[in-house]
Structure 1
Amino acid sequence: MSHYKPYPVYKDSGVEWLGQVPGHWAVSPLKYVVTFRSGGTPSKDKQEFWDGDIPWASAKDLKKEQLEDTQDHLTELAVTSGAASLVPAGSVLVVVRGMILARIFPVAEAMVPMAINQDLKALHASSKLDGRFLAHLLRGLADESLCRLEEAGHGTKALRMEAWTSMQLTIPPSEEQCAILSHLDRETVRIDALVEKKARFIELLREKRQALITHAVTKGFDPNVKMKDSGVEWLGEVPEHWAVCKLSFRYSVELGKMLDEKKLTKTSLVPYLRNQDVQWGAINIQNLPEMDIHPAEIERYTVMDGDLMVCEGGDVGRAAIWRGESSVFGYQKALHRLRPRLQNTDTAEFFFFSLLTAKKRGVFEESDSKATIAHLPAEKFRQYRFAFPPKREQREIADHVRIESDSLDVLLTKTARSIALLKERRSALITAAVTGQIDLREAT
């Protein structure tokens, strides 16, 4: 933002964290320039209050800066009976209580009349403030708002309302607010368009990578190979010389040890992997808990180089390969350990990509409801059918996919970083504009 000029004259705001402000700007506590409206939740037991046409906003809706609709809706009866009330269009909505405050401070403008729940406040600007300027002002001072939190139980955060409503705001003259808004509108629209373009590019890269992987593990890379019907819907046709069989014919599938803290003796403690430690292609080994694994159980409940660890619950089928640790590590019952039955027949690197494709194609979903299975029992897992090329071809396919994926990952990382920088620039611009660090009165 080096091309922006500062104001010619500044004064001390009298607020340590705010510092200098333009000489002709006012400074005022939030509670003196806005009025507040609270919300609530009508009884869930009264169906006549729900699924109407009136938007009812909660924290999950404040993902956009301008809110025209919400996930949940109320009926007219909910409002006329007094179970809910409407805030007018133009209200500035903020989250004052919720787990989301541990990360961000959402601010949105209500574009239509709507009801809000008890975790939100609706702010109405006085004549000194343009409502849209107020929204940008609160976004620009988000870090200061988050400095005024308290614990609200069960990991939830809440604003300390007296401290927050006493937070000092910068108040430019009305015509200057309009100039600032005009410039922010132009710049944020331009930045948002760039972010959207780059986000779409990331989607295309991910689609390209998945298409590469899917083709590799179901068709191979020989365009002239004879094909056959695999007999498995999600596989379709596969090369004629590939085997198609149940997982149990090629891999041993062992579920980890059930953790029983009542029987913990602490005589044979071993760090162990949990479901959350296994992410796609990566395994966490930092700050692992420990469990008793007796010497007689070591072979059954520990991992060795090349084992494929697969999530039994949660994000069913998520997998990663265990690599290189010589120390003894166990694994909990929430994970499957897969090992090729014959080392000269299969390689976990290839089957990792097969699992990724199976997951993307909904193999681990219920055929009726399409709801993800909460758990994948070992016996059920063993019955799934997969395609298996000869081991040499498995290695060639896995190596090719890994090289191509690594190249795409470089682009993905670079693009994601570019998006993060654009978002940082957007936030910094808003903060600088609404606190008077830059003079936008004649900016083009």
Structure 2
Amino acid sequence: MSRRELPAGWVQQKLRDLGTWRGGGTPTKSEPAYWENGNIPWVSPKDMKRAVIDDAEDHITEAAVENSACNLVPAGSVLMVTRSGILAHSFPVATTIRPVTINQDMKALTPASGIVPEYLRLALTAGKQSILQECSKAGTTVASISSEKLSDFEVSIPPSDEQRRIVEKIEALTVRSRRAREALDSLPVMIDRCRQSILAAAFSGNLTVSWRRASPLIESREDMLGRVEMERKDLFEGFRGNRSYMPAEKLDVSDDLPVLPPSWQWVSAEQICGFITKGTTPSRDKMSAEVGGVPYIKVYNLTFFGDLDFSVDPTFVPAEVHSGELARSKVLPGDVLMNIVGPPLGKVSIVPDSFPEWNINQAIAVFRCVPSLMKRFLMYYFLSNGLLFRANLLSKATAGQQNLTLEICRKLPVPLPPVAEQREIVNRIDKAFSAIEAVHTNVKIANSRLTTLDQSILAKAFRGQLVPQDPNDEPASVLLERIRAERAAGGVPSRRGRRKA
């Protein structure tokens, strides 16, 4: 904001002129007396995740304040991060409501009398992008703010009473905005529960009760299983060549499996897949980010929604590696993939047809369905909590990891309805999930609009457009002249070295 745009009674002033600046430090860790049983908060960038600081993760003692580079920062000071990776995109600012100390990656500004601390915090928050652009140091290993440039940064200062009115108005509007955001933040959990409710109804048969009543049974359960077995044999022989075909072991239907509709049957994943295996990981020098060769899928390319996201760190392997040492882990469009190393388990994707062949790493299992099992039906079932609960129960825990062996994968129980009902189930899930996704999109839009609204509120506030000006307020120029006079008289030094405030 240029000076001529300032409302009557406002001035634009450098931060260095608005109070007392303090730096921080780290007491030596080799001196237990500085840290043990400390009760003075020692604020570092990791504590700057909130607007008001009332405590810190670490504490130091009075001895540390007396004998180190730490300063005791008074309550009502404004704390700023000046060295941290977070400065690459944000500028954390907070006010402290109790005396604290800060580390060397922070600066503190204790506003002079008449400068409202919360107003100053909000002004710096509103100007964070300008601060990052104008005050950042170049060529540093860790993102840093120049203290000199920061102290020269100018903010708009209204009369003291108007500062308070601005803070009160922003706080009132922020409460409403926060409530709206909290309501929006609760929706993704509800949306996920809705998805899982639909999947639970789908794979118990409850989603298509009315459809079954209106649709004649074309094929008996026994005929369906016989056909599936023949399709599996054809698929196996087409892939395995001369290797002898081994019929899949029938699933031992235990009492803990839910009762299915009469036309359905519990089967093992092996019974309805001609091919279940896991991938292989080649040496690093055989993988490349350059487009070319065969796309190589890793766990982070799988999703919790069934789609494959190959935009995340895409990797390729040479065609000769794909057909040679990685031949056993080739996958084709339509194959269903599931991660078998967690946590978390439950990432599932269908291989798209954007490439004729793909390859997968060792943390992914591939399920190649028989024609009588719709790929999307299996994908949706693998995404359901019913399957995920059983997978977590059966997984082997090793060094903090959850692992599903191929034996477990092959014996996973799958509910198998007739093909026509599979098609109806998939169509109903698709429609329901499409409607849910529309809600999810609207939530994202609303959240984005709330962020824009918050930014607009701050922008209006510091243009003098949020609250009316009162001609009876003492002008800010008079306030600043008084601060200068007090400083000249020794009452308010602009910079303070060490020790207690």
TM range (shorter): 0.7 to 0.9
Residues 391 and 404 in structure 2, CA contact (< 8 A), matched pair in contact too: no
Q: Does the aligned pair in 2 maintain the 1:310–1:317 contact within 8 Å?
A: yes
Q: Could you state the TM-score of these two structures normalised by the residue count of structure 1? A: 0.77
Aligned residues: 417
**2:294 equivalent in structure 1:** 270
Match of 1:323 in 2: 352
Secondary structure (helix, strand or coil) at the match of 1:333 reads coil
Question: 1:187 is matched with which residue?
Answer: 173
- State the match for 1:149 in structure 2: 136
* 2:23 counterpart residue number: 37
Change (3 A) 1:216 1:45: farther
The 3-state SS of whatever aligns with 1:189 is: helix
Shift of 1:312: 4.4
SS at match of 2:296: strand
Q: Deviations over 1:134-188 (max 9, x none)?
A: 110111101112213346777x422233322321111112122112112212212
Contact 1:107/1:138 (8 A) holds in 2: yes
Listed as ranges, the matches of 1:41-440 within 5 Å are 43=29, 49=35, 55-70=41-56, 72-74=57-59, 87-147=73-133, 148-150=135-137, 156-218=142-204, 220-221=206-207, 231=254, 237-239=258-260, 243-244=265-266, 247-251=269-273, 252-262=275-285, 269-281=293-305, 282-286=307-311, 288-294=314-320, 296-297=323-324, 300-313=328-341, 315-340=344-369, 342-345=370-373, 347-357=375-385, 361=389, 363-364=391-392, 373-374=400-401, 376=403, 378-379=405-406, 382=409, 385-392=412-419, 393-436=421-464, 440=468
Q: CA deviation at 1:407?
A: 0.7
Where relative contact order (Cα < 8 A, 6+ residues apart) is larger, the structure is: 2
- Cα distance 1:12–1:110, how it changes in 2: closer, same or farther (>3 A)? closer
Amino acid at match of 1:396: E
Deviation at 1:44, TM superposition (A): 9.4
User: How far is 1:291 from its partner?
Assistant: 1.3
CA distance in 1, matches of 2:272, 2:46: 45
Return 5+ residue gaps in structure 2 as ranges. Answer: 213-251, 471-501
The RMSD of aligned alpha carbons is: 4.1
Residue 30 of structure 1 deviates from its aligned partner by 1.9
Q: Give the TM-score normalised by structure 2.
A: 0.69
Specify the SS of the correspondent of 2:13. strand
Give the Cα–Cα distance (whole angstroms) in 2 for the partners of residues 402 and 78 of structure 1. Answer: 65
Whether the 8 Å CA contact 2:299–2:339 is kept in 1: the answer is yes
Alignment of 1:7-46 (within 5 A): 12-13=2-3, 20-34=5-19, 35-40=21-26, 43=29
Partners of 2:387 and 2:79 in 1: CA distance: 39
- Residue aligned with 1:284, SS: coil
Residues 368-420 of structure 1, C-alpha deviation per residue, up to 9 Å, x if partnerless? 99x99536354365266333232534443333222112111111211221121
User: Which residue identity does 1:74 align to in structure 2?
Assistant: H
- Cα-to-partner distance string for 1:227-254 (whole Å, 9 max, x where unaligned): xx97587xx6342655556544544433
Residues 408 and 46 of structure 1: CA distance in aligned 2, closer, same or farther (over 3 Å): farther
Contact 2:119 2:167 in 1 (8 A): yes
**Cα contact 2:299–2:364 (8 A) shared by 1:** yes
Residue 218 of structure 1 deviates from its aligned partner by 4.8
Counterpart Cα distance in 1 of 2:381 and 2:15: 54
Mapped to 1, the partners of 2:37 and 2:385 lie a distance apart of: 38
Q: CA separation in 1, counterparts of 2:336 and 2:96?
A: 49
2:390, 2:73 → 1: CA distance? 42
How many angstroms apart in 2 are the aligned matches of 1:56 and 1:365? 44
- Summarize the Cα distance change of 1:212–1:232 in structure 2 as closer, same or farther, 3 Å threshold: farther
Q: Which has the higher helix share?
A: 2
Q: Distance in 2 between matches of 1:32 and 1:202?
A: 46
The separation in 2 between residues aligned to 1:41 and 1:232, in whole angstroms, is: 63
Contact 1:308 1:337 (8 Å CA) reproduced: yes
Inter-CA distance 269–323: structure 2 relative to 1 (3 Å threshold): closer
Unaligned 5+ runs, structure 1: 1-10, 14-18
Whole-Å separation in 1 of the counterparts to 2:11 and 2:388 = 56
CA contact (8 A) 2:330 2:357 kept: yes
Amino acid at match of 2:166: I
What residue number does 2:491 align with?
none
Residues 94 and 108 in structure 1, CA contact (< 8 A), matched pair in contact too: yes
Contact 2:392 2:402 in 1 (8 A): no
Residue aligning to 1:3 = none
Task: For residue 221 of structure 1, report the CA deviation from its aligned partner.
Answer: 2.6
Q: Which moved more, 1:353-362 or 1:43-52?
A: 43-52
- Please list the CA deviations of residues 305-325 of structure 1 after superposition, one character each: whole Å capped at 9, or x if unmatched: 222233345644312222232
Q: Which structure shows the bigger proportion of residues in strand conformation?
A: 1
User: Per-residue displacement from partner, 1:415-444 (whole Å, max 9, x unpaired)?
Assistant: 2211210221112211221243555437xx
Shift of the alpha carbon at 1:195?
Answer: 2.0
The percent identity for this pair of structures is 21
Q: Is the 8 A contact 2:346 2:388 kept in 1?
A: no
Q: CA deviation at 1:346?
A: 5.3
Cα distance in 2 for residues equivalent to 1:219 and 1:270: 40
